[in-house]
């Protein structure tokens, strides 16, 4: 997953948008088209971007933009009603009708669609939302691309027939009740040159794709997660210092405490949302020190570069970190 943005927590625009249109696009999936009240242009975005919906004081959720980036007056998202959700999908399904107002932050992009001659796109369930924008971008670029799209049943797969109608044989629809699990060995068995793989979907699919792509060139695979990756429970949580470069103050982060909470205790505000390393809201620029990355967003290259970190979960791999806070 790419995250080359140097956006920091200090520049946050929250827009008051209106649900211009609401429609059901699959079983349990509702699509919202959001606009400004006055119809003015929205910030630009590219395939892979997401927005935060501010659904309550402590309820902020991320949804991928799945419409057309050329449409500057509206943003489109699709939201699955999830049983056992922490409130985000229930709030969207239950409370956001046409005409409702909602606070929106973003867009941000931690899943950038890099240039390439060929793409293998893989989506599972509601993971189609960022992948759909990528299919359109790949087609616009004249790239050679394919999309394999799995879901529980055909009726549960949002935009399935639209995609098939628009792109024909490039799109392979694989409802599980008709075809079983995706045949990843055929799809990813042999590493292919000049090819990038983009995948979004449930964790078992991402893990299976990561396993199949282990022999692919470094940087070929890009995934986006809905839930955090598991990290070694034995990983060291030693205490360390954080220097806040803007004020010159030093904050102590104890073992078991996050940088986010230590910094907040010191009275410095840092925006956050998921607080589990999946959304990128708390991304902070690292000015000095070595990071123990524990997020589910940054690529291996970005981790190695050490220029940025998610302060809600990641820690120091040294005695002192200096952050642009
Ligand atoms: S708050 Fe979501 S990554 Fe830190």
Cα–Cα distance for residue pair 214/307, rounded to 1 Å: 25
- Distance between first and last Cα of the chain: 24
- According to the model, what pLDDT value does residue 115 have? 96
Number of neighbouring beta carbons within 10 Å of residue 228: 17
- According to the model, what pLDDT value does residue 106 have? 87
Residue 201 has pLDDT above 50, yes or no: yes
Atom number of ligand 1 nearest to Cα 311: 4
Residue 268 CB–ligand 1 contact under 6 Å: no
- According to the model, what pLDDT value does residue 234 have? 59
Residue from 61, 282, 294 whose mutation best tests the ligand 1 pocket (most atoms within 8 A of CB)? 282
Strand intervals (E) in 81-215: 101-108, 118-124, 144-151, 171-175, 195-200
Determine how β-strand 195-200 pairs with β-strand 221-224: parallel
Cα–Cα distance for residue pair 116/106, rounded to 1 Å: 26
CA of 171 relative to ligand 1 center, distance in Å: 33
CA of 280 relative to ligand 1 center, distance in Å: 5
Residue from 291, 298, 310, 323 whose mutation best tests the ligand 1 pocket (most atoms within 8 A of CB)? 310
Residue 228 CB–ligand 1 contact under 6 Å: no
DSSP 130: H
The kind and range of the H/E element at 188 are: helix 184-188
Q: What is the mean pLDDT of residues 277-282?
A: 89
Residue 146: φ, ψ to 5°:
-140, 150
Confidence of residue 12 (pLDDT cuts 50, 70, 90): low
pTM to 2 decimal places: 0.85
Q: What is the mean pLDDT of residues 71-100?
A: 91
Atom number of ligand 1 nearest to Cα 279: 2
The kind and range of the H/E element at 95 are: helix 88-95
Residue 2 has pLDDT above 90, yes or no: no
Dump pLDDT digits (tens) for 238-260.
999 999 999 999 999 999 899 99
Cα–Cα distance for residue pair 188/209, rounded to 1 Å: 8
């Amino acid at each position: 997953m790419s995250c080359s943005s140097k956006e920091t927590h200090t520049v946050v625009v929250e827009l008051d948008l209106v649900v211009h249109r609401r429609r059901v696009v699959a079983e349990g999936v509702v699509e919202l088209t959001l606009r400004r009240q006055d119809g003015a242009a929205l910030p630009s975005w590219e395939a892979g971007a997401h927005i935060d919906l501010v659904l309550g004081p402590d309820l902020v959720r991320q949804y991928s933009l799945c419409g057309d980036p050329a449409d500057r007056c509206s943003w489109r998202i699709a939201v699955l009603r999830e049983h056992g959700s922490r409130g985000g999908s229930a709030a969207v399904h239950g409370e956001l009708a046409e005409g409702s107002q909602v606070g929106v932050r973003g867009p941000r992009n931690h899943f950038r669609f890099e240039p390439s001659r060929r793409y293998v796109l893989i989506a599972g369930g509601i993971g189609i939302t960022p992948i759909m924008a990528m299919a359109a971008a790949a087609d616009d670029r004249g790239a050679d691309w394919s999309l394999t799209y799995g879901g529980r049943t055909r009726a549960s797969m949002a935009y399935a027939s639209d995609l098939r109608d628009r792109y024909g044989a490039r799109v392979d629809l694989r409802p599980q009740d008709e075809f079983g699990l995706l045949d990843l060995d055929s799809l990813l068995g042999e590493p292919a040159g000049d090819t990038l793989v983009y995948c979004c979907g449930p964790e078992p699919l991402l893990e299976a794709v990561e396993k199949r792509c282990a022999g692919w060139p470094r940087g070929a695979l890009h995934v986006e997660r809905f839930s955090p990756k598991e990290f070694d429970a034995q990983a060291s949580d030693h205490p360390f210092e954080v220097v806040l470069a803007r004020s010159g103050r030093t904050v102590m982060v104890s073992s078991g405490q996050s940088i986010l909470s230590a910094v907040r205790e010191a009275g410095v505000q840092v925006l956050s949302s998921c607080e589990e390393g999946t959304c990128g809201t708390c991304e902070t620029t690292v000015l000095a020190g070595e990071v123990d990355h524990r997020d589910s967003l940054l690529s291996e290259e970005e981790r190695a570069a050490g220029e940025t970190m998610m302060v809600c979960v990641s820690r120091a791999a040294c005695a002192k970190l200096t952050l642009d806070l």
